[in-house]
Structure 1
Amino acid sequence: MKINQFLDATYLKTAAQAGVSEQRNLDKVMQLVEEAIVYNYKLVMIRSNYISIVKKLLQEAKSTVLVGTVIDFPEGNASLEKKLEEAQKAILLGADELDFVVNYKAFKEGNLHLIKKEVINCISICLTNNKVAKFIIEIAALSNEEIIVISRLIKQVVLDNFGEENAKNVFVKSSTGFYKTEESIPNGATLEKMKIISKNAKPLKIKAAGGVRDYEMAIKMIALGVDRIGTSSSKEIINKEHNTNKGY
């Protein structure tokens, strides 16, 4: 297995969140991109203000690594108009894949009409521009039953409005990695939660994000049907795969 093609190497902290200068934060992004070029990851997931410089670096290296960004991150409660405006800007900057944070608070309040409208419009802008859409449902904020409902809802919206042929261009994604939980409860992907998503979202693609930090967990996720893994530990995962294959 070439695990590198499952990896969305991720750095989404702002300079303020990282506690560093803007230049140092840019340096961290550039370091990630250089690493992605060397290891040929599927994608680098970054904030939209870095898209232009990252695209330029990848093009100069003649790399096939894709560029992804997040929309309405990490809260997901902006208006649909704001979501689409942010998406359009990211597309114009050159993003290949857009990870939208679903308005999970509205979903929990029972506003399924809003969620359907978000999903339809966000997929439309992506497919029209030959981009991939991913929907972050923030599983740490949801019960298992809610994960089932929202996964099925997104799947049905895709099948009803865009056809099964477009299922490959839409992902259900677990987490932002920024959700605050209590009592050290995981805020990212777990095997239990990803199994639920896999069972209820297929034939859509599935992305596990947050908490996948080692090769063993990555392999278990892939065995569950996960198509992509968002992680800040891509290099560690790749190196373990290399050592495992060498019999170390």
Structure 2
Amino acid sequence: MSDDMRAVAARALAMVDLTNLNDDCTADDIDTLIARADTPHGPVAAICIWPRFVAHARAKNAEINIATVVNFPSGNEAQDSVVTQTAQAIADGANEIDLVLPYRAFADGDHDRAGMMVSAVAAVCNGKALLKVILETGELVEAGLIAEASRLAISKGADFIKTSTGKVAINATKDAAQVMMTVIADGNRTVGFKPAGGIRSTRDAAAYLAMADEIVGEGWATPDTFRFGASGVLDDLLAVLDGKESEVGEGY
């Protein structure tokens, strides 16, 4: 394995949101995830889990960075309920909230509903948790709509914009990433980017990081501004760092 690929793997590992959003996830699975997150080559950026497991994960590990999801995966829950879920997740110990934009409403032209949802959750997160807004780009499809959703989420308080839930047919794509990172680069404040779903190899990670370097700038992508929403990629990153053959993992 080349030194260049090892360098990519080391860079990417620190940006992984190690994810278990399986419908059949258990507390034992969360314990396993927490153990996997502390690798021989350093910790991942965060674990990303269902809200019902946040308190358990925080009790298990006081230091780990915990992301959780709200309005997930449908994007069509009532705003009051999502706000309540967000506040409870933060109280339970979540450091980061991954909010699904009401993308169907947005695609149908109801931008006010989508914007109000982001604003309301941003108000709860303010100073307490990082807010990542999931656009569900595989459902929005059109580049212009993805760009418009990116700008809306950023204008309403998103700290990150994220491609996907990993629960639809098309998740992270390089085309969507290019659109979203171009919006970030054209903006007037620092906003992060998170591709999620279908990222399973060091080569996949390398492609996204190269795009970030080209569009937003060399050195911009750090764990503070760039995350990979994934579970399967970790095994491959570790294999590359250990000098072994690529081991493309299964999972989100």
User: Normalising TM by the smaller chain, what interval?
Assistant: 0.7 to 0.9
CA shift at 1:244, angstroms?
5.1
Extract unaligned runs of 5+ from structure 1.
19-24, 159-168, 182-186
Give matches, 1:120-159, under 5 Å. 120-128=119-127, 130-142=128-140, 143-158=142-157
Counterpart position of 1:170: 159
Residue type of the alignment partner of 2:92: L
Q: CA RMSD in A?
A: 2.0
**Residue 199 (1) aligns with residue 212 (2):** no
Runs ≥4 residues deviating over 6 A? none
| Among 49, 53, 71, the residue aligned to 1:50 | 53
Q: How many residues align?
A: 217
Query: By how many angstroms is 1:121 displaced?
Result: 1.4
The percent of aligned pairs where both chains have the same amino acid is 24
Q: How does 1:31-110 map to 2 (within 5 A)?
A: 31-38=32-39, 39-59=42-62, 64-110=63-109
Secondary structure, aligned partner of 2:206: helix
- Separation in 2 of the partners of 1:73 and 1:124? 19
Seen in structure 2, the aligned counterparts of structure 1 residues 2 and 201 have a Cα distance that, compared at 3 Å, is closer
The answer to whether the 8 A contact 1:37-1:58 is kept is no
CA–CA distance in structure 2, aligned partners of residues 235 and 117 of structure 1:
35
Corresponding residue number in structure 2 for 1:184: none
- Give the CA deviation at 1:118: 1.3
**CA distance in 1 between partners of 2:148 and 2:243 (Å):** 38
1:10-57 alpha-carbon deviations (Å, 9 max, x no partner):
000122xx7xxxxxx322221111010234111000111111121122
Deviations 1:80-118 (A, max 9, x none): 111101101101111000000110011011011112211
Letter aligned with residue 56 of structure 2: I
Of 3, 21, 25 in structure 1, the residue corresponding to residue 12 of structure 2 is: 3
SS in 1 for 2:14: helix
Cα separation, partners in 2 of 1:245 and 1:236, compared to 1, 3 Å: closer
Structure-1 residue corresponding to 2:215: none
| Amino acid paired to 1:93 | D
Q: Tell me how far apart the structure 2 counterparts of residues 124 and 245 of structure 1 sit (CA, whole Å).
A: 46
Partner of 2:31: 30
Question: 1:217 Cα deviation (Å)?
Answer: 0.6
What amino acid maps onto 1:216 in structure 2? R
Q: Which has the higher contact order (CA 8 A, sep 6+)?
A: 2
* 1:239, distance to aligned residue in structure 2 (A): 1.3
Q: What is the rounded CA distance, in whole Å, between the counterparts of 1:95 and 1:157 in structure 2?
A: 21
Distance (Å, rounded) in 2 between the aligned partners of 1:157 and 1:49: 27
SS in 1 for 2:61: helix
Which residue identity lines up with residue 99 of structure 2 in the other structure?
F
Q: Which amino acid aligns with 1:221?
A: Y
Query: Which has the higher mean CA deviation after the structures are superposed, 109-118 or 96-105?
Result: 109-118
1:108-151 Cα shifts (integer Å, max 9, x gaps) = 110111122111111111014x2100101101101222101111
8 Å CA contact 1:215–1:236 kept in 2: the answer is no
Q: Is the contact made by 1:103 and 1:115 (CA closer than 8 Å) also made in structure 2?
A: yes
Q: Which amino acid aligns with 2:163?
A: S
Task: Give the gaps of 5 or more residues in structure 2.
Answer: 1-9, 213-220, 246-252
1:209 lines up with 2:196 in the alignment: yes
SS at match of 1:3: helix
Q: Which secondary structure state, in structure 2, belongs to the residue aligned with residue 2 of structure 1?
A: helix
| TM-score, structure 2 normalization | 0.80
**For residue 232 of structure 2, what is the aligned residue in structure 1?**
233
Pairwise CA distance, 1:201? 3.1
Equivalent-residue separation in structure 2 for 1:245 and 1:222 (angstroms): 22
User: Structure 1 residues 153, 12: CA separation in 2 closer, same or farther (over 3 Å shift)?
Assistant: same
Mapped to 2, the partners of 1:220 and 1:58 lie a distance apart of 33
C-alpha separation in 2, matches of 1:98 and 1:237:
26
